[in-house]
């Protein structure tokens, strides 16, 4: 893989671990890490479209990115029953886990090259699967991640219709308690992805998760 790599949400957890792993691998000419707690051109607030546009312009001034990772997902508050949910918690979960990634994709997807197999990876979680929901609960987390799954599928369809070769996927990192290991597993797994995989919801090991 060549060109540049971009990680949005690189302040902590899986995002920070992916940024560190990419830098350590040295396979990209430049690795950009964006987060709310950074200063200057590396600051990005996924809910502030102006900051997203500025970050995209900063990246767009250089070589096209071959990999964009959106790792802003926070899971959301775990509401065990319908009686526990609140408007504020639902709005926050959807804003961070679905709306933010959509805005980032809006500005960064056009930067991907039209040749090769550039990747747009959205970090999600298995509980974003409607089919796999056997325990209930986690209303805000499950609903917002399911929305992200639909976003990925729809982006992939639009990209295909535009004759772009971008591979757009959502990935469950598997073990957020060990972000360094999860980051390495994700980076190993995405190397084998092709256009046929665009729109899929995948586990870190490459197996497909039912929407």
What residues does each domain of the chain span?
4-203
Residue 79 Cα distances to 83, 85, 126, 145, 190, angstroms: 8, 6, 17, 14, 32
Is residue 133 scored above 90 in pLDDT?
Answer: no
Question: Which CATH superfamily is 4-203 part of?
Answer: NAD(P)-binding Rossmann-like Domain (3.40.50.720)
pLDDT band at residue 205 using 50, 70 and 90 as cut-offs: confident
| SS3 state at 85 | coil
SS3 61: coil
53: pLDDT strictly greater than 90: yes
Mean pLDDT of all residues belonging to the chain: 90
pLDDT category at 121 given cuts 50, 70, 90 is: very high
Q: At residue 206, does pLDDT exceed 60?
A: yes
By residue count, the chain amounts to: 211
Q: What is the pLDDT of residue 77?
A: 66
Distance CA 146, CA 124 (A): 9
Give the residue, 163 or 192, on which the prediction is more confident: 192
Instruction: Name the pLDDT band for 89 (thresholds 50, 70, 90).
Output: confident
pLDDT category, 50, cuts 50, 70, 90?
A: very high
Is residue 163's pLDDT more than 80? no
Share of the chain above pLDDT 90, in %: 60
Residue 183: its pLDDT value, please?
93
Residue 200: closest CA among 105, 129, 104:
129
Neighbours of 130 (CB within 10 A): 14
The sheet carrying 167-172 orders its strands as 30-34, 4-8, 65-70, 119-123, 167-172, 201-203
pTM above 0.85, yes or no: yes
Lowest mean pLDDT among 38-42, 109-113, 132-136: 132-136
């Amino acid at each position: 893989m060549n060109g540049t790599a971009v990680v949005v949400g690189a302040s902590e957890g899986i995002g920070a671990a992916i940024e560190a792993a990419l830098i350590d691998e040295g396979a990209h000419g430049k690795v950009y890490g964006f987060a709310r707690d950074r200063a200057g051109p590396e600051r990005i607030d996924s809910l502030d479209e102006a900051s997203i546009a500025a970050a995209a312009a900063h990246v767009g001034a250089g070589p096209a990115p071959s990999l964009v990772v959106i790792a802003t997902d926070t899971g959301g508050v775990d509401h065990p029953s319908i009686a526990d949910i609140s408007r504020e918690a639902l709005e926050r979960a959807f804003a961070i886990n679905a709306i933010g990634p959509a805005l980032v994709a809006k500005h960064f997807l056009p930067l991907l090259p039209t040749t090769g197999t550039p990747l747009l990876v959205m970090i999600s979680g298995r509980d974003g699967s409607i089919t796999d929901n056997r325990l209930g609960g986690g209303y805000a987390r499950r609903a917002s991640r399911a929305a992200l799954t639909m976003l990925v599928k729809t982006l992939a369809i639009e990209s295909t219709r535009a004759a772009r070769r971008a591979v757009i996927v959502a990935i469950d990192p598997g073990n957020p308690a060990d972000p360094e290991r999860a980051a390495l597993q994700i980076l190993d797994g995405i190397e084998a992805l092709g256009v046929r995989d665009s729109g899929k919801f995948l586990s870190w090991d490459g197996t497909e998760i039912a929407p």
